[in-house]
Amino acid sequence: MGFWIAAILGFISMVVITWLLKDSYPLYASLIGPLCGGFIAGIVLGEGVGEGAKVGFISGVFGALLVSVIILITGAALFGIIGAFVGAIIDLVIMIFATLLFGIFGMIGGGIGGIFRNK
């Protein structure tokens, strides 16, 4: 399968798994989701550890972008212009940490998924 198809499938599974686990395991949902999403992306791509880690990282970055957009829209919708401004400032900080968190855990999961399905 193609690289971008695997990245999008990993991203979608990451979002769904995190959403499903948010009530039962709120502290671990943001860790388990990227790991499982990266794992799925690595298995779907199936081109080894390096490519699996790369596609897992890209899936994690997509997840971080989604979190960033949700925070910005929520801030603007709830608090207007001031909320959008504060949301944008907070968004920059969260974007850095979310990209690192989701990207690194997605990369680890993608590498593990690449091990299991190596061409």
- pLDDT tens digit string along 69-92? 877 777 777 677 776 777 778 777
Phi, psi of 3 (to 5 degrees): -60, -45
Q: End-to-end alpha-carbon separation of the chain, Å?
A: 12
- Give the span between the Cα atoms of 96 and 88, in whole angstroms: 13
pLDDT, tens digit, for every residue of 49-60? 888 888 888 888
Q: Is 35 within 8 Å of 61 (Cβ atoms)?
A: no
Which pLDDT score is estimated for 119? 60
- In terms of Cα–Cα distance, which of 10, 24, 23 is closest to 111? 10
